[in-house]
A = this chain, B = another copy of it.
Amino acid sequence: MKEHSVTIYDISEQAGVSIATVSRVLNNSSNVSEATKKKVLNAIKDTGYTPNAFARGLGLNTMKTIGILAADSSDLYLAKAIYYFEEELRASGYDSLLCCTGYALKDKKAAIDLLISKKVDGIILVGSNFVYPDVADNKYILNAAEKVPVMLLNAELEGNNIYCVSSDDYKSMYKATCDLIESGFTNILYFYNSLSYSGALKERGYRDAMKDAGINVTERQLQFFEGTREDVHGMAAQLEKIASSGLKFNAVIAADDTLALSAVKYALSKGYKIPEEFSVIGYNNSMLATCSEPELTSIDNKLETLCQKLTATLMGVLSGEEMPKKTVFGGELVTRATTKEK
């Protein structure tokens, strides 16, 4: 492999035309007679020629590639988003350069630099953990946006050349919390594992709903789980621990289905009847919701729609159109067996 590969020159020679003509055929450019076109195509077929994307990229200064950044491509939710993006982008003639950065800021910066040096035409930041509460920490996004359009999924950041598409996590969480309260639950624990932008929105939704219902919230009712995102046992253990430390709660509203599932496990282990004595609401409406027993009530934030919209916006930006810098979609509570029917 990697011997001297077939180039446009070989084709031009074999077809008896100039390289310019070959290039025109390759690019479906105007003004090539049918006869020569056929000759060229035959030569291409004979030699098994594939254009060198570097050279092409050098000339065109675009590789028709979008960089996708996600903290962890194996996270259920992010993986789904990546899948949708990949699908949409391909349909629009773009490819995806994937970088999994992990959750550290430093690595995110490095990944973005890398994508830019690879001359991606745009960058999609998948997941709200790319935007930090501290403004200074978001400088790296603004920098990137000086070179290529940056798209944010489920996060918001103002800046030139930055576009945001997100779900209305605040409202979704507010309403879900209200639902729980209306069903008679007042000792509601908020269980979360991310300090991200959308994480903050969710938390505020919870807090406001409680406040508006006149329920006081102590800080201990907001439980942060530090472990890995798949560690259901660890999550359940944390609930167990704080329960035995004296905190009373008969409902959990979680920032994520995995957390919710751990709450179900916890409640079952305690012998609580779900949903009468103990209710749980998850977030993302992932496959976990239907895998759980009993099945999880969960907030669906319309990921596919978000991804489609985001991709469409990006395509608009790339073709020079004026596009909305911020799009928000409402979520929907999907009621299953962990909450009472209303």
Contacts and interface: CB of A to CB of B under 8 A. Distances in A.
A290 interface: yes
Nearest to A119: B53
Contacts of A118: 53, 63, 65, 95
A12 interface: no
Interface in A126-167: 143, 146-149, 161
B117 A100 contact: no
Copies, count = 2
A180 B74 CA distance: 31
B50 A2 contact: no
Contacts of A87: 100
Nearest to A49: B117
A1 B146 contact: yes
A117 B52 contact: yes
A2 B119 CA distance: 10
A210 B292 CA distance: 31
Contacts of A291: 232, 258, 261, 288, 291-292
Given A1-B161, A50-B113, A50-B117, A292 B293 contact: yes
Interface in A59-107: 61, 63, 65, 68, 72-74, 76, 79-80, 82-83, 86-87, 90, 95-100
